[in-house]
Structure 1
């Protein structure tokens, strides 16, 4: 299985890609420009020279989406719509995890403030764009900080909340996400639950700012998920 990180050259996408590649997953880092993706992957291999990252390569977003079996979208809100529209033809019947969060930074505001979208959530917006393709959209990775992801080799002390309408696709997504050391994936239900999950991100950002941290996360306790 190949996992393609669409818009994966930023801290979040690259962190996810590095973590999965170290865990043995074949990873493609996508970017608007192939050259940037290739440069970022080359630098990552230098920075993490103690690890075998031969299973990670760079491509343009469209090629990454075409080659990937599972796609993870890691772009800012402003880039979400054009990015998803640009790869739509390659999303047929694929699992598409979306990490986009509607933060006020998209309009020059504060990172701890949320923007209400007409579709209800960023993940639902992606689902509306991909309607008719058979893509299974899952909200994922919204509540794991970039600092956690890049803090290799330390385990990530955080649950990953996901939501989606297709149970089997969520099971596949969880199997992939759980390869990251320390992370436990929690299925929160239907895709509409993304409206709640995405709003946790600005709360965590605000807590990190208030308490001068980069590693604020959350654990769901007291529930037997077996």
Structure 2
């Protein structure tokens, strides 16, 4: 499967890209400008060369969306709709994992506060914007720290909460995500639950700031998910 990371040159997107490349997925890292994607990917391939011979490629977001089988959206809220506009014609029938978190920083606020958006969550915004494209949106990766993703080759001792309206898409997403060592997927239900997942991120950011850490995570206990 060819995976396209849309807006993938930031810390979150690049961390996901590296982890998936090490897990032997073919990965395209997208950016607004192809030159930036190519430059960043060249360095990133060097960073992971001791862990895999697999090579990521860099492309413009539009080309990444066109060529990939599955997309992961890793942009800040303020760039979400603008980015979706550029790739809309290339996403028909595809699965999109949306990692967007509506933080107050989008309007100059506090990084540890959630911004309430219409129609309820960032993931639902994506689904609404692409409603005519037969896209299956899954909220995913929102509660996984960028520092965890970048801490290669250490496993990620966290749960990755996901939600979405299409069961098959969530199964595919889970299979991909759980290729990252120790990262466990927990499906919390329909896409309308995405606001609950997204709200965990500012909570974790605030806790990391308070306790001077970068690796705060989330692990559910006491439930048999098998």
- TM tier relative to shorter chain: over 0.9
Question: Equivalents in 2 of 1:103, 1:53: separation in Å?
Answer: 36
Conserved? CA contact 1:177–1:185, under 8 Å: yes
* TM superposition shift of 1:54: 3.4
Conserved? CA contact 1:71–1:94, under 8 Å: yes
Helix, strand or coil at the partner of 2:202: helix
Conserved? CA contact 1:25–1:55, under 8 Å: no
Find the counterpart in structure 2 of residue 55 from structure 1: 55
* TM superposition shift of 1:58: 0.5
Conserved? CA contact 2:22–2:48, under 8 Å: no
Find the counterpart in structure 2 of residue 88 from structure 1: 88
What is the Cα-based RMSD across aligned positions, in Å? Answer: 0.8
Q: Which runs of 5+ in 1 are unaligned?
A: none
Given the alignment of the two structures, is residue 135 of structure 1 paired with residue 135 of structure 2, yes or no? Answer: yes
* Matched ranges for 1:1-226 at <5 A: 1-226=1-226
TM-superposition CA deviations, 1:91-144 (whole Å, max 9, x none): 111000000000011111110011100110000000001001110001000000
Q: How many residues align?
A: 226
Q: Which runs of 5+ in 2 are unaligned?
A: none
Conserved? CA contact 2:24–2:54, under 8 Å: no
Helix, strand or coil at the partner of 2:28: strand
Question: Equivalents in 1 of 2:116, 2:85: separation in Å?
Answer: 21
Conserved? CA contact 1:6–1:30, under 8 Å: yes
Question: Equivalents in 2 of 1:202, 1:159: separation in Å?
Answer: 16
What TM-score, normalized to structure 2?
0.98
Helix, strand or coil at the partner of 2:223: coil
Conserved? CA contact 1:3–1:26, under 8 Å: yes
Question: Equivalents in 2 of 1:192, 1:223: separation in Å?
Answer: 22
